Chains A and B, each alone.
Chain A
Amino acid sequence: MKFLRRIIPDYWADEGKSEGGRFRYRRLWKYLVSLTALVSLAPLVIMTAVNYYQYQKVLRVEMIHPISQLASNTKRSLESFIEERISALNLIIHDKSFEDIADQKRFIAVFRNMKNSFGGFVDLGLIDAEGYQRSYVGPYELKGKNYKDQDWFHEVSLRGVYVSDVFMGYRNFPHFVIAVKNERAGGDFYVLRATVDTETPIRKIISPLDLRPSTDVFLINRKGILQTSSRFYGRILEKMSLAVPPFSSRTEVLEEQTREGQSYILGYAYIERTPFILMIVAQPKALMENWLSVRRDLVWFLIGSIVIILLVILWSSTYMVNRVREADLKRAALLHSVEYTNKMASIGRLAAGVAHEINNPLAIINEKAGLVKDIAALTTEDFPQREKIIKLIESILVNVERCSTITHRLLGFAKRMDVHLETINLELLIKEVLSFLEKEATYRDISVNFHIPENFPSIQSDRGQLQQVFLNIINNAFAAVEDRGRIDISIREDKDTVAVTISDNGHGISEEDLQRIFEPFFTTKKEGGVGLGLSITYGIVEKLGGRISVESKVGQGTSFTVILPAKRTRF
């Protein structure tokens, strides 16, 4: 909660209460927070996002490039491997006459030479236009076998060159067939057919040593049947689990998705003059592993920074708005106090002026009425209703006296008094004041309790005026409490001030009355109160450089606090 107080203003919670100003501070706070958050977080987030996407783009290019290169290189190697073997067969078939190679002995020599010059050949056969295998060198006895009805034979007789799919054949190992045709004069032709082992030479070409474990390189035919076994997408001669990529004469790199929705990068190339398609499949996840961990760190760093920045923004905005609010409140209080002091001063001057003007005619009334009374009382002659006249005059005199009491109090309220400073023991002074009221306290069984710290220091002030202040307040407290009531008097010492609090458990003062309590002629007493006591008290305390405040709850009691400067040298 304490932490929250520091970052969320405390006037946030009491939204329900009506205090016009608070909404201004809330608005200010919101404005400050959103503005600072915007200018500090927006560039951070934008920069991180831009950086993120740029980096990802660059990385993707960087990732695609080696795959494309690998695909191109491998394609070239494969093409030249097959081209070489086709050329070798072409050389033999065009160089030698049919009769030359139809001779079995010569044919064996040719095969030996060829095998020595080009790796990968497993066997070699010569087939005439009728499809009969006329000569054969190889691990099996295939001489005399007829191929006339086989597809490849038609194909090679039509196109002159044929490269087969990979198949297992009689020997049960993967290989493919290359066949070339030579036309003889008179429309006759013959075909040289060689079997090439795929496992060793092709594997060498398509499986460079530095491949990542997650990258798969393999061959398929155009129907998607695997021509070499793959790591992840099926074994040899099975149907590949990926889709067959569309034809392109160049090396292509695509980003694809498997049927399960996993993305992969596919580099592929159609191998010229063969049914083969080279496939390179890479897992971006594996390729980007380093990048992903950097990205994770980056995201955490970003989140951490945002949280810290937000906390700092909240804290500083709250701090600043609180300072502004405190300053505003202080200024308002000061303004209010100045206003109140001015109001009291003008009321005082007015009261004094009126009182002074009234006092002179009052003195004249006093003397005139006195003279009438003297005449009536002192002359020896008797006249009708003499006693009654004397009584009436006496009544006038009593009321003149009452008026003069009021005028003198009014004069006292405003008048500038000299302040005589002396060292005063507050405790003794208050006890002296209480001694005036001792009789009443005993009679009404009112208990007065002191709460005064030991070794309480003396203060510099005006004895007579302080007596009047405390007499007024304590008198009011006596008036407020019932019989057997309780009055508490406590003194506290602060840095430069001394605070005297006088609390009673009397009837209390309503909030409305509390506003006007220090105004002259304001009274709640049913009889005999002029309403000057507290206004005079207020004036004196101000003059002594202090403050007076009051708190009250109806039915619970009232407490007055007089705060006096501990030391005063100038007035």
Chain B
Amino acid sequence: MAILRVLLIDDEEELVFTLAERLILRGIEVEGVTSGADAIKRVQEKKFDVAVLDMKMPGIGGLEVMKRIRREREGIKFILMTGRGSPEEGEEGIREGAFAYLVKPINIEDLMEKMMEAVSV
């Protein structure tokens, strides 16, 4: 299995680093950032396969971050995390070009599955 390079973006620091550590334990190369601005900066410096992105963040919102990253670097797949219970928000993300969405709190196995699907397409 090729090593996945994942950029994890969420404003909750605790969540980002804990989730990152869990993914690392599963053999994935993960970097976590806590703002959209940091994420945009980071993708200019390094190549990632997948961005896991919280939709609702202070500063630049999730969908805007997705658009800007895509401008910087093509080929990154996006998996959105939504805190809201409504599927509509996620559906909107899919219409904007995200690969999938997950509702928080997420199930780690679901996330793994979606990431694998994303890179195998």
Residues of A within 8 A of B (CB): 355-356, 359-360, 362-368, 370-371, 374-375, 378, 400-401, 404, 407-412, 415, 417-418
Contacts and interface: CB of A to CB of B under 8 A. Distances in A.
17 contacts: A359-B105, A363-B12, A363-B15, A363-B106, A364-B15, A364-B18, A367-B18, A367-B105, A368-B18, A370-B108, A371-B25, A374-B26, A378-B26, A400-B105, A401-B105, A408-B85, A415-B84
Nearest to B84: A411
A316 B25 CA distance: 87
B29 interface: no
A404 to B, nearest CB: 5
Contact of A367 (B15, B26, B85, B103): B15
B88 A417 contact: yes
Nearest to A375: B25
Contacts of B85: 355, 407-412, 415
Contacts of A409: 85
Contact of A363 (B21, B83, B86): B83
Contact of B105 (A356, A363, A411, A417): A363
A254 B85 CA distance: 109
Contacts of A362: 104-105
B28 interface: no
Contacts of B14: 364, 367-368
Contacts of A356: 83-84
Q: How large is the interface on B (under 10, 10 to 19, 20 to 34, 35 or more residues)?
A: 10 to 19
A449 to B, nearest CB: 34
B118 interface: no
Contacts of A367: 14-15, 18-19, 22, 105
A362 B15 CA distance: 10
B22 A371 contact: yes
Given A367-B19, A370-B22, A371-B21, A359 B104 contact: yes
A418 B95 CA distance: 15
Given A370-B108, A417-B86, A408 B25 contact: no
Given A368-B14, A374-B25, A411-B86, 13 more contacts: A360-B104, A363-B106, A364-B15, A365-B105, A367-B14, A370-B18, A370-B108, A371-B18, A371-B25, A374-B21, A408-B103, A411-B84, A415-B85
A370 B108 CA distance: 8
A364 B19 CA distance: 9
B57 to A, nearest CB: 12
Given A360-B83, A412-B85, A415-B86, A366 B22 contact: no
Interface string B18-57: 1101100110000000000000000000000000000000
A360 B25 CA distance: 23
Given A371-B21, A378-B25, A366 B105 contact: yes
Interface string B64-83: 00000000000000000001
Contacts of B25: 371, 374-375, 378
Contacts of B12: 360, 363-364
Point out which of A362, A365, A370, A400 has the most chain B C-beta atoms below 10 A from its C-beta: A370
A360, A410, A418 — which one has the most chain B CB atoms within 10 A of its CB? A360
A411 B85 CA distance: 6
A68 B112 CA distance: 133
A378 B26 CA distance: 8
Contacts of A366: 105-106
Nearest to A412: B85
A128 to B, nearest CB: 154
Given A370-B108, A378-B25, A359 B19 contact: no
- A367, A411, A412, A417: residue with the most chain B Cβ atoms closer than 10 Å: A367
B35 to A, nearest CB: 16
B104 A363 contact: yes
A412 B87 CA distance: 9
Contacts of B104: 359-360, 362-363, 404
A210 B21 CA distance: 140
Contacts of B105: 359, 362-363, 365-367, 400-401, 404
Interface centre among A374, A410, A415, A418 (most CB of B within 10 A): A374
Contacts of B15: 360, 363-364, 367
Contacts of A408: 85, 103
Contacts of A371: 18, 21-22, 25
Contacts of A364: 12, 14-15, 18
Interface string B85-116: 11010000000000000011110100000000
B106 to A, nearest CB: 7
Q: Which 5 A-B pairs have the closest CB atoms?
A: A408-B85, A366-B105, A411-B85, A367-B18, A363-B105
Contacts of B22: 367, 370-371, 374
